[in-house]
Amino acid sequence: MLKVHHLNCGTSCPWGGRLFDGTSPGWLTGHIVCHCLLIETDAGLVLVDTGFGMRDVIEPRRLARFFRVLNNIRLRPEETAIAQVRALGFDPRDVRHIVISHLDFDHAGGIEDFPNATIHLTAREKEVADERRGGAFVGTRRYRPRQWDEAADWRLYPMGGGEPWFGFDAVRQLEGLPPEILLIPLAGHTWGHSGIAVDAGGGWLLHAADAYFFRGEIGSEQRACPPGMRAYQRMMEVDRIARRSNQAKLRALSLGHAAEVRIFCAHDPVELRALQA
């Protein structure tokens, strides 16, 4: 059985408060997280996304000023994945694999903190990120190649194919990883965006990354999302039809298979606290 740790690898306090996160008591600043996973496996430690890295903390200009200001990012060394791996009593060199949902600045910042790790993601995401094709305005700001340009060991996978998983295409047999970890294509937020499913023994966990941003977008027939967060999703999307279609499929999955699959996104602090508990 795999053991899964739920980590917050980056805090932001976006302007708009409750209009943005739906939870904060005030209207000035909100609170969102970078929900990452550390998984103990026989193949070594596996990270799912990395949040902000130590190099981002040391040199904030690695991140685009537009997003540093808009999201009011708080770069804290103790929240980096490498610091939390150490705090859990592990050696960072034992992180052998990193599975990346997509290469946005708040998901890939810690890649180079683990130089011995093999990085797994879709080939489409690596292609568009290298060319910074993530939207006319957003593309050059969301992708920060300095966060991963020293990484050498990549494993790239197709968006299509694989065996079906609860109605989704699944990329199985990630090289060197146990079969309990799957890459689930969920395009829309970016061209090569994916979720990561983990069979933790007592049911599936599905890290849906940025396929949705707010807990009210799944779990009920009617989608609910604060206006600020809704606007942010639209600004970041590259394919609205694909994003909304995949989000609807996640909502259906959350209603039809709640006992078998627990779904969570990358940025909702309420979901993170519930899973940490």
Res 270: pLDDT: 97
Res 172: pLDDT: 87
Contact 190, 104 (CB under 8 A): yes
Portion of the chain with pLDDT greater than 90, in percent? 95
- Residues 84-136 have pLDDT tens digits of 999 999 999 999 999 999 999 999 999 999 999 999 999 999 999 999 999 88
3-state secondary structure of 198: strand
| Cα separation, 101 vs 107, whole angstroms | 8
- Residues 240-262 have pLDDT tens digits of 999 999 999 999 999 999 999 99
Res 39: pLDDT: 98
Alpha carbon distances (Å) from 146 to 62, 85, 93, 95, 213: 7, 22, 21, 21, 26
| Cα separation, 251 vs 187, whole angstroms | 15
Two structure tokens written together for 130? 């290298």
Average pLDDT over every residue of 63-82: 98
- Residues 128-176 have pLDDT tens digits of 999 999 988 999 999 999 999 999 999 999 998 889 999 999 998 899 9
Pairing type for strands 73-74 and 3-12 reads antiparallel
The strand pairing partners of 40, in sequence order, are 3, 45
Residue 95: closest CA among 120, 71, 121, 117: 117
Alpha carbon distances (Å) from 167 to 145, 162, 184, 189: 33, 12, 10, 19
- Residues 27-47 have pLDDT tens digits of 999 999 999 999 999 999 999
Q: Count of CB atoms within 10 A of residue 163's CB?
A: 10
